[in-house]
Amino acid sequence: MSDLIVALGLVLALEGTLYALAPGGMKAMMRAALETSDQTMRTAGLVALALGVLLVWFVRG
């Protein structure tokens, strides 16, 4: 359970850093996401999910 809390903390830290350092870039990325098709977003999400699971699997063994 503590690993999950640490992972969520890291996500928040990374997201916060992006918004603090490049708010204009984040707004542009959000606009681009709104213009992207649902299928493309779904595919990108599934790829990110698979890569994340593989990364954790390799690191944690």
pLDDT of residue 1: 87
Instruction: Please list, residue by residue across 39-58, b when 16 or more beta carbons sit within 10 angstroms of its beta carbon and e when fewer do.
Output: eeeeeeeeeeeeeeeeeeee
Does residue 16 contact residue 8 with C-beta atoms inside 8 Å? no
Mean pLDDT for the stretch of residues 12-40: 96
On whether the CB atoms of residues 26 and 18 are closer than 8 A, the answer is: yes
| Predicted TM-score (pTM) above 0.85 | no
Report the distance separating Cα 1 and Cα 28, nearest Å: 35
pLDDT at 6 over 90: yes
Q: Across residues 33-58, what is the average pLDDT?
A: 96
pLDDT of residue 47: 98
- What's the confidence (pLDDT) of residue 61? 85
Query: Cβ neighbours of residue 26 under 8 Å, at least 6 residues apart?
Result: 18, 19
Q: State residue 46's pLDDT score.
A: 98
